[in-house]
Chains A and B, each alone.
Chain A
Amino acid sequence: MTETAVIEGRAAALAIDNLDTDQIMPKQFLRGIDKSGLDKGLLYDLRFDENGRPKPDCVLNRPDYADVSILISGSNFGCGSSREHAVWGLLEFGIRAVVASSFAEIFYSNAVNNRLMLVTLPQDKIARALADAADPNRNHVSIDVATLRFRSASVDAPFALSARHRRMFLEGLDVIGMTLTYRQQIGAFAERHWSEQPWLRDVAARTYQRLHSP
């Protein structure tokens, strides 16, 4: 438990609000049938020019940020498309936590399901954390998931995380496995639901068959 309870490392600042999942993982990297190779696509248009050359001004290309593992960003991080590829790409790139003033909801669920740590801090603290991260001599950050505390050079702040999400992060809960223990209840629920609303049972299959019957 202690091994994963604290995330420590170098942070980089991406001072952008509404950083959407189209930007985090552009369309051309969504054509796979597995999760591999997404580190290449991460924030592609920010990191590379139109000829595929790394942009020297992008913080993620700087040699002194080569070992970055934490991103600090603005509000509504991860808005837009539901593509979980955005979360897979961040993890494959080596990012273990994102710190922002707010996160889009589907992105939040996707992150939780992959043990990518998300820390929400008030805007004034984000502003200071962004300034810390922008200075390579002051950008060490630690996130203690056991005590729910964020620390950077000039910020020492608590953050909130639901008990469920904390357990999912610390213990790597198998959510599908847990739900499978409700199998009987789900079956009983479905039978009752369909007896009350018989027009819902097999609605996809029955509609498809009606449309495709000769």
Chain B
Amino acid sequence: MTARTLYRRLVDSHTVAVLDEQNVLLFCDLHLMNEYTSPQAFAGLHERGLEVPVPGQNMAVVSHIIPTAAVTPRVIGDPASALQARTLEANCARHGISLFDANDPLQGIEHVVAPEHGMVRPGMVVICGDSHTTTHGALGALGFGIGTTELEHVLATQTLAYPVARDMRIGIDGALPEGTTVKDLILMVLGTIGAEGARGYVVEFTGPAIAALSVESRLTLCNMTLEAGARGALIAPDQTTIGYVLERAPDITGDTRDLALAHWATLRSDADAQFDVEHRFEAGSVVPHVSWGTSPDQVMPINGRVPRPDQQDDEATRQATRRALGYTRLSPGAPIEGIPVQHVFIGSCTNARIEDLRAASDVVRGRTVARGVRAMVVPGSGAVRRQAEAEGLDRLFTDAGFEWRKPGCSMCLAMNDDVVGAGERCASTTNRNFEGRQGRGSVTHLMSPPMAAAAAITGTISDVRRLQRRPTLTPGSQS
């Protein structure tokens, strides 16, 4: 048998039928839904008079439109958004689909809720009407986003007509230095390979720096790989993965556990498997990164200077840089450090898990939010929020002047009332700095949770390494 990548293994093990030389009929183990990309799919299903054949493989959350004000019960004031939530509730009730509704204590963002309760397991195919479904590759599951027509297809058949992608491997050597996170690593990777650097590929991350990552950091990495255009991001399951999943999946015990462990051990690329493209990066060279432009690949080290269009090589890059700087109102050649921000947002499917909040709280502890800055923490789920409260992080953040809010997608895409005003600047732990993403005319600077915390304290884009109290233990550190 020819050598196979992990990705091909996952595709092969879910292929119901080969449709043609590019497409297979792919079985989907877990379908996650939200309120805004699903209503038209259910409507289509009902027009056809179809039922959902296997509702137990489907789950829904109210995530994108929900206000995050810390009130109980939670109320969706906007009538159109409230109708979306009611429609999701009615659709789930009609078809027997599990729903984490607005007032469920475990409600949250789909990509936070599903893994944290052991719903995502190695070797699965996980799909959702949301591009950041690549997140679940962190657990060795093939996750990817789909549109609403495909969503209807999954509801009706539990399968997708799926064009098979190409294989890319990104090896990460070394170890991340103190003061940096996996967010800095993926921003650096995006800056190098570009916003379509992985378009058409499923990326497998390998190497010692990946092996050393916690599952939550891996979720951040695979989430953000979508911003390179990837059709999936994978990390082969190891002891870290298995420990995380078994702790959250009490149904996997006894003989089933043995069977599962034996199966999961096969979920890796063969040593001689061929990848269409390979990249290598050195984690030891990572420094804190921030975005300066309007595409997630327009990023720079915190100690760098805003690019000068006139010094760039090709006309397309010059034009893109000019357009982006015109929107973000930064001066070519200026340092990025010290740029004032009016908002700080710690949240989103990228960076709203408990480890993210702990990392931000380490920077905030004993300090206060700078005057003129509105800083908020929006936990990724009810479970994250409760855990943080058990650790006293809510008090730590509110004592410092942060708002401690209820879970949801919130200011990442500003579909609810958490909006950055025109002309205002936000230090944000999210995944996209597109024009108008957080509000018309708003400017987003993507960064890690500790970097966002540092911006809240200083009121400007700052190098968190200056605020960290622990002595740096990394030999040869420049800072």
Contacts and interface: CB of A to CB of B under 8 A. Distances in A.
B283 to A, nearest CB: 27
A17 B145 contact: no
A82 B146 contact: yes
A104 interface: yes
B146 A186 contact: no
28 contacts: A17-B320, A23-B435, A31-B78, A31-B80, A76-B196, A79-B195, A79-B229, A80-B434, A81-B131, A82-B37, A82-B147, A87-B147, A106-B131, A106-B145, A109-B146, A110-B147, A164-B19, A164-B22, A182-B159, A183-B157, A185-B25, A190-B54, A196-B263, A198-B259, A199-B251, A203-B30, A204-B56, A205-B57
Interface of B: 13-14, 16-17, 19-20, 22-23, 25, 27, 29-31, 36-37, 39-40, 43, 48, 53-59, 64-65, 78, 80-81, 83-84, 87, 96-98, 100, 106, 117-119, 121, 123-124, 129-131, 145-150, 152-153, 156-159, 161, 163, 195-196, 199-200, 229, 231, 249-252, 256, 259-260, 263, 295, 316, 319-320, 323, 413-415, 422, 432, 434-437, 440-441
A204 B57 contact: yes
Nearest to A27: B415
Contact of B157 (A110, A179, A210): A179
Given A109-B150, A176-B156, A197 B260 contact: yes
Contacts of A176: 48, 152-153, 156-157
Contact of B147 (A26, A113, A208): A113
A84 B121 contact: no
Interface of A: 15-18, 20, 22-23, 26-27, 30-35, 45, 50, 74-76, 79-84, 87, 102, 104-106, 109-110, 113-114, 123, 162-164, 175-176, 178-180, 182-183, 185-187, 189-190, 193, 196-211
Contact of B251 (A50, A208, A210): A210
A26 B435 CA distance: 10
Contacts of B231: 105
Contacts of B53: 186-187
A50 to B, nearest CB: 6
Given A82-B37, A82-B146, A203 B56 contact: yes
A50 B422 CA distance: 9
B436 A26 contact: yes
A201 B81 CA distance: 33
Given A82-B37, A164-B19, A201 B150 contact: no
* Listed residue (A102, A203, A206) with the most chain B CB atoms within 10 angstroms of its CB: A203
Nearest to B295: A18
User: 6 tightest CB-CB pairs across the interface, nearest first?
Assistant: A202-B56, A208-B98, A205-B56, A110-B147, A33-B39, A31-B80
